Amino acid sequence: MAGALDGIRVLDLAQGSFGYAGRLLAGFGADVIKVEPRGGDPLRAWPPFAADHPDPERGARHLHLDGAKRSMVVDLDAREGQALLRRLVREADALVESFTPGHLAARGLDYDRLVESRPDLVMVSITHFGQDGPYAQYAGGEIVDAALGGYLYLTGDPDREPVKPYDDLVLQHAAVHGAVAVMAGITHRELIGEGDHFDVAASEAALFLLGGMAQTYHFDGRVSKRVGARLTYANPLYPYPSTIRPCRGGYVHAHSNNRHIDLLAALMQGVGMEALLDRPMGNADAIDEAMDRWMAEKDKFEVVRLAQEMRLPFTEVLTPDEVIRDPHLEARGFFVELEHPAAPGVRQPGAAAMLTGTPWRVARAPVLAEHTDEVLGDVLGLDRAAIDALRRDGVIA
Partner 1 sequence: MTRPLTGVRVLELTTAVAGPIAGCALADLGAEVIKIESPAARTTAGAAAPPPREGAPDRPWNRTPVFNDLHRGKRLLNMDLAHREGRALFLRLVAQSDVVVENFSPRVLANLGIDYPQLREARGDVILVSMPAFGKSGPYALRGSYGPGIDAMSGLSHLTGYPDRGPGKPAQFYCDFHAGLTAAFATMAALRHRRRTGEGQYIELSMLEGELQLLAPALMDVTMNGRSATRIGNRHAWRAPQGVYACAGDDRWVAITVTTDAQWAALARALGHPEIAEDARYATHVARMQRHDEIDALIAAWTRGRGHVEAMHALQAAGVPAGALLDVAELHRDPQLLHREAFSWQEHAEMGAFPHSRLAWRSRRGHHGVSGPAPLYGEANAYAIRELLGESAERVEALREDGVIADEPRGGRH
Residues 234-293 close enough to bind partner 1 by CB under 8 A: 234-235, 237-239, 242, 244, 246, 251-253, 255, 257-259, 261
Q: How far is the CB of 15 from partner 1 (least distance, A)?
A: 12
32, 148, 390, 395: residue in contact with partner 1 (rule CB under 8 A): 148
- Residue closer to partner 1 (CB basis): 102 or 349: 349
102, 119, 133, 394: residue in contact with partner 1 (rule CB under 8 A): 133
Around Cβ 139, how many Cβ atoms within 10 Å? 9
- In this structure, what DSSP letter does residue 337 have? E
Partnered with residue 280 across adjacent β-strands are: none
38, 107, 113, 164: residue in contact with partner 1 (rule CB under 8 A): 164
Contacts of 134 (CB under 8 A, 6+ apart): none
65, 290, 368, 369: residue in contact with partner 1 (rule CB under 8 A): 65
Q: How far is the CB of 198 from partner 1 (least distance, A)?
A: 5
Q: How far is the CB of 249 from partner 1 (least distance, A)?
A: 13
- Judged by CB under 8 A, the chain residues 24 through 53 that form the site for partner 1 are 24, 28, 46-52
Distances (CA, A) of 235 to 238, 239, 283, 354: 5, 9, 11, 39
Please name the amino acid found at residue 199.
D
- Residue closer to partner 1 (CB basis): 358 or 373: 358
- Judged by CB under 8 A, the chain residues 316 through 345 that form the site for partner 1 are 316-324, 326-329, 331-332, 334-335, 343
- Residue closer to partner 1 (CB basis): 258 or 269: 258
Q: How far is the CB of 203 from partner 1 (least distance, A)?
A: 7
Q: How far is the CB of 71 from partner 1 (least distance, A)?
A: 18
- The whole-angstrom separation of Cα 303 and Cα 170 is 32
Site mask, partner 1, residues 91-120, x = CB under 8 A? Answer: --------------------x---------
> Contact, 98 vs 126, CB < 8 A?
yes
- The whole-angstrom separation of Cα 283 and Cα 80 is 68
Q: How far is the CB of 385 from partner 1 (least distance, A)?
A: 37
Under the binding rule (CB under 8 A), the answer on residue 294 touching partner 1 is: no
CA-based diameter of the chain, in Å? 83
- Judged by CB under 8 A, the chain residues 352 through 391 that form the site for partner 1 are 352-358
Contacts of 90 (CB under 8 A, 6+ apart): 117, 118
Establish how many alpha carbons lie within 13 A of residue 185's alpha carbon, considering only the half-sphere containing its beta carbon: 25
Mark the segment that binds partner 1 (CB under 8 A) among 71-79, 81-89, 143-151, 379-387. 143-151
Under the binding rule (CB under 8 A), the answer on residue 181 touching partner 1 is: yes
- Residue closer to partner 1 (CB basis): 74 or 89: 89
How many residues interact with partner 1 (rule CB under 8 A)? 164
Cα angle 307, 313, 315; round to 5: 80
> Contact, 206 vs 133, CB < 8 A?
no
Under the binding rule (CB under 8 A), the answer on residue 174 touching partner 1 is: yes
- Residue closer to partner 1 (CB basis): 247 or 375: 247
Q: How far is the CB of 131 from partner 1 (least distance, A)?
A: 8
Establish how many alpha carbons lie within 13 A of residue 354's alpha carbon, considering only the half-sphere containing its beta carbon: 3
Q: Is 213 helix (H, G, I), strand (E, B) or coil?
A: helix
Radius of gyration of the chain (CA): 25
> Contact, 341 vs 367, CB < 8 A?
yes
- The whole-angstrom separation of Cα 216 and Cα 156 is 20
39, 79, 83, 225: residue in contact with partner 1 (rule CB under 8 A): 225
- Residue closer to partner 1 (CB basis): 317 or 397: 317
39, 102, 212, 344: residue in contact with partner 1 (rule CB under 8 A): 212
Contacts of 306 (CB under 8 A, 6+ apart): 267, 298
Q: Is 198 helix (H, G, I), strand (E, B) or coil?
A: strand
